Amino acid sequence: MFTMTVAGADTFQIPKECIVSTKFITDIPKNSDARTADVGTTLVVTGKILSAVDGDPFDSTRQMALWSTVPAKQAECYRSVTVENVRGNVVVRKYTIPNAFVVDYVESFGDTEGVGTFTLTIKQKKDRIEHVAVDGSYLI
């Protein structure tokens, strides 16, 4: 079960029904002879775009699409993202990316699936890489 919270000018949450997978990547040049100073952090989140029925909370994935359109001149293009993965009452991972910006956002809809899918790729602002936190292995 995943939950994702994006905090910024308008805070929104992507509920557990939507997120299908996450991938956390530490970006390092592969050709380095010694530890590089050029480290990046990428988080890829994929999931479903659900339609609201019977008074379910309204689909919040649209907020991600709006975030991906914010131009660089506005401060709101950087937001604080928290993604939690909970299994068996244990928080397996909690990623905190406090100055995240969108590098890729794709939504896809077809006439067979019934729901849409999204892929969000975010990175931490590279000069603030030391503020990224990876926690986990504790009970809820």
Partner 1 sequence: MAYKMTVTGLDSPIALNEKAITRVVFDSETPKDSNARATDYGLGVKVYGKILFDTLGGMDDPTIGLAKWSQVPSYNGDCYRNVEINVVSASQVVRNFVIPQAFVVEYNESLDVETGVGEFCIHIRQKKDENEKVAIHGGFGV
Point out which residues bind partner 1 (CB under 8 A). 1-2, 19-26, 28, 30, 32-37, 39, 41, 85, 87-90, 92-93, 129-130, 132, 134-139
The least CB distance from residue 69 to partner 1, in Å, is 27
The least CB distance from residue 99 to partner 1, in Å, is 14
Q: In 3D, which of 55, 52, 41 has the Cα closest to residue 124?
A: 41
Nearest CB to partner 1, comparing residues 9 and 126 = 126
Nearest CB to partner 1, comparing residues 66 and 133 = 133
CA distances (Å), origin 116, targets 8, 16, 113: 25, 16, 7
Contact 54, 43 (CB under 8 A): no
> Which positions ≥6 away from 70 have C-beta within 8 Å?
76, 77, 102
The least CB distance from residue 66 to partner 1, in Å, is 25
Number of helical (H) and strand (E) elements in the chain, helices listed first: 1, 9
Nearest CB to partner 1, comparing residues 33 and 111 = 33
